[in-house]
């Protein structure tokens, strides 16, 4: 007797919804420290240097975990690795929520950094169970929810901190993460391991990549103080070059490298990574500067808004960033990735240079933030969907993780460069940077972002339909 074959598993709307909520919650959990850093510094008696460390430790962990998550997801199945990873994130969120002092909070943030690896794992599942066209829209929706969650965290952090306490900054999104993880585990079909090789994990490559990224963050953190510590800065730069060289040497000879340099050499992948890095540098600068201009009060510039009022002004940007994900996915399917990325870059350049010229009214900043959030969302979504569908199904996780790592690094570099320029542009005896420093940052951010157009011209238009 012949039995009918079981129909292939598919992802239903409920499972996609659970992935979207999970992305929203992790995005919020990632972003709550930045707008509340002054409050955290006061309550935990942190020095500025300790505050800087707190603001980047999650980025460092995320950049390290993302390629590992993608690699393990490709090899052992996206769902299994995703659930385990989000269990670590949930523990980290609870530790951060209950932290009585800075060391415990740093440990919680270290665990929370694993959240960045959730996106490539979600993309593995979407790519495995949906047709290419539908996968692009789903990837756009999930990545848009993550971006939107980051903006929600940015907006809600002030009111939560002022009306409740710093503990709820981490507790509220962590509760949602736990619920969404349980729902994903229940609703998402089981995906079998994608590969059966026994090559193992490239731990030497991971160790060198870890050291390289930590050194890079230290170099960026000391950039603003290069005049007072030139030898330390020079030593770190030399160490960074040595570690990068050693990492490339090890990865090229590894049987199963953590970051496949051969894959990175593919035009579709390296162009997406380069574009993501450049675009996110400009986006980080714009986002940081808009928030600073809303919060400070200078001579004829800045508005001295409270954390809650700043969140209200940024709310339209939240909506725009959230909408950009699915719109970008639909646009990539209909018009191709190149058209979507080009549109996003043009919006970013217009908003950054326009804000440099005109920033005397609150609505100038609000409109600029809407364009920045929407333009960045279009670009990142199109590049993620293009990368995910341009490689073999078994390489989806590691390929998209490369793009996400460059996203994190682009934001970190952009923030540090703007911070260094504003620090250098602060008059003696003042704690407010000169207006010219803001203008310089915005012009540089716009010019750097415009360079992305040189790369988009060489992109393949991308599959449609």
> Is 243:234 a contact under the CB 8 Å cutoff?
no
Q: What is the pLDDT of residue 463?
A: 42
Chain-centroid distance of CA 416 in Å reads 15
Q: What interhelical angle do 435-450 and 396-424 show, nearest 10?
A: 150
Distance CA 269, CA 326 (A): 21
Residue 21 tokens read as: 């909520």
- Give me the pLDDT at residue 197, please: 52
Task: Count CB-CB contacts under 10 A for residue 150.
Answer: 25
Which residue shows structure tokens 């740093």?
A: 106
* Token reading at 384: 């993620």
- Cα separation, 306 vs 158, in Å, equals 8
Quote the DSSP letter at residue 297: B
Q: In terms of Cα–Cα distance, which of 103, 122, 220 is closest to 180?
A: 122
Which residues make beta-bridge pairs with 302? 297
Chain mean position to CA 17 = 21
Structure tokens at 173: 């999104």
Helix, strand or coil, per DSSP, at residue 302: strand
455 vs 342: CA distance, rounded Å: 10
Q: Is 114 in contact with 92 (CB distance < 8 Å)?
A: yes
Distance CA 358, CA 366 (A): 12
Please give the average pLDDT of every successive group of 10 residues along the chain, which has 465 residues. 46 76 83 76 68 70 73 72 86 90 86 78 73 71 76 80 85 89 82 59 78 76 70 88 90 74 75 85 84 78 78 80 79 80 91 93 92 87 74 68 77 77 78 85 92 76 46
Dmax (CA) of the chain: 88
- Identify the CA nearest to 371 among candidates 438, 317, 430: 317
Question: Using CA atoms, how far apart are residues 324 and 327, in angstroms rounded to an integer?
Answer: 5
Q: Look at residue 193 in the predicted model and tell me its pLDDT.
A: 65
Query: Span 13-190+260-456: which CATH code?
Result: 1.20.1250.20
The CB density around residue 335, as the number of other CB atoms within 10 Å, is: 16
Which phi-psi region, left, alpha or beta, contains residue 210 (left: φ > 0; alpha: ψ -120 to 50)? alpha
d(CA 223, CA 233): 7
* Size of the chain in residues: 465
Spatial separation of the C-alpha atoms in residues 245 and 6, rounded to whole Å: 50
pLDDT for residue 178? 92
pLDDT of residue 464: 44
CA distances, 161 to each of 38, 88, 165, 174, 313 (Å): 11, 24, 5, 15, 17
The H-assigned helical ranges of 389-434 are 396-424
Cα–Cα nearest to 394, from 80, 72, 132, 99: 72
Q: Looking at the whole model, is its pTM more than 0.75?
A: no
* Angle at 87 (CA atoms; ends 264, 277), nearest 5 degrees: 25
Contacts of 218 (CB under 8 A, 6+ apart): 236
Q: Among 464, 451, 445, which residue's Cα sits nearest to residue 386?
A: 464
Parse the chain into domains and list their residue ranges. Answer: 13-190+260-456, 203-259
What's the confidence (pLDDT) of residue 16? 78
Whole-angstrom distance, CA of residue 262 vs CA of residue 448: 27
- Cα 335 from Cα 381, distance rounded (Å): 14
């Amino acid at each position: 007797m012949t039995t009918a074959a079981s129909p292939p598993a598919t992802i239903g709307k409920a499972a996609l919804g659970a992935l979207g909520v999970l992305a929203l919650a992790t995005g919020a959990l990632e972003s709550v420290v930045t707008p509340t850093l002054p409050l955290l510094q006061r309550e935990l008696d942190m020095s500025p240097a300790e505050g800087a460390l707190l603001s980047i430790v999650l980025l460092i962990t995320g950049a390290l975990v993302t390629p590992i998550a993608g690699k393990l997801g490709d090899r052992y199945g996206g769902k299994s690795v995703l659930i385990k990873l989000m269990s670590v994130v949930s523990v980290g969120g609870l530790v951060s929520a209950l932290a009585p002092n800075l060391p415990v909070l740093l440990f919680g943030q270290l665990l929370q950094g694993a959240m960045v690896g959730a996106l490539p794992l979600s993309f593995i599942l979407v790519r495995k169970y949906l047709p290419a066209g539908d996968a692009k829209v789903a990837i756009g929706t999930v990545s848009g929810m993550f971006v939107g969650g980051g903006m929600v965290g940015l907006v809600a952090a002030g009111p939560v901190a002022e009306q409740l306490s710093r503990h709820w900054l981490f507790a509220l999104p962590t509760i949602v993460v736990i619920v969404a993880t349980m729902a994903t585990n229940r609703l998402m079909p089981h995906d079998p391991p994608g590969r059966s090789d026994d090559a193992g994990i490239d731990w030497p490559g991971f160790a060198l990549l870890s050291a390289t990224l930590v050194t890079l963050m230290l170099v960026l953190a000391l950039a603003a103080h290069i005049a007072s510590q030139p030898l330390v800065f020079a030593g770190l730069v030399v160490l960074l070059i040595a570690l990068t060289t050693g990492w490339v040497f090890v990865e090229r000879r590894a049987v199963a490298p953590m970051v496949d340099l051969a894959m990175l050499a593919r035009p579709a992948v390296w162009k997406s990574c380069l574009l993501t890095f450049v675009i996110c540098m400009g986006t980080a600068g714009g986002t940081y500067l808009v928030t600073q201009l809303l919060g400070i009060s200078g001579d004829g510039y800045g508005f001295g808004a409270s954390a809650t009022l700043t969140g209200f002004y940024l709310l339209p940007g939240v909506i725009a960033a959230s909408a950009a994900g699915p719109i970008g996915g639909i646009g990539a399917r209909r018009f191709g990735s190149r058209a979507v990325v080009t549109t996003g870059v043009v919006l970013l350049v217009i908003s950054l240079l326009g804000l440099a010229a005109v920033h005397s009214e609150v609505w100038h900043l609000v409109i600029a933030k809407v364009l920045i959030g929407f333009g960045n969302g279009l670009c990142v979504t199109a590049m993620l969907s293009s990368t995910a569908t341009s490689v073999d199904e078994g390489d989806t996780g590691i390929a998209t993780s490369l793009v996400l790592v460059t996203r994190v690094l682009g934001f970190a570099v952009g923030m540090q460069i703007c911070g260094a320029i504003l620090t250098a542009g602060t008059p003696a005896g003042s704690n407010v940077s000169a207006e010219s420093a803001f203008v310089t940052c915005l012009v540089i951010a716009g010019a750097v972002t415009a360079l992305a157009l040189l790369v988009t011209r060489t992109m393949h238009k991308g599959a449609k339909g």
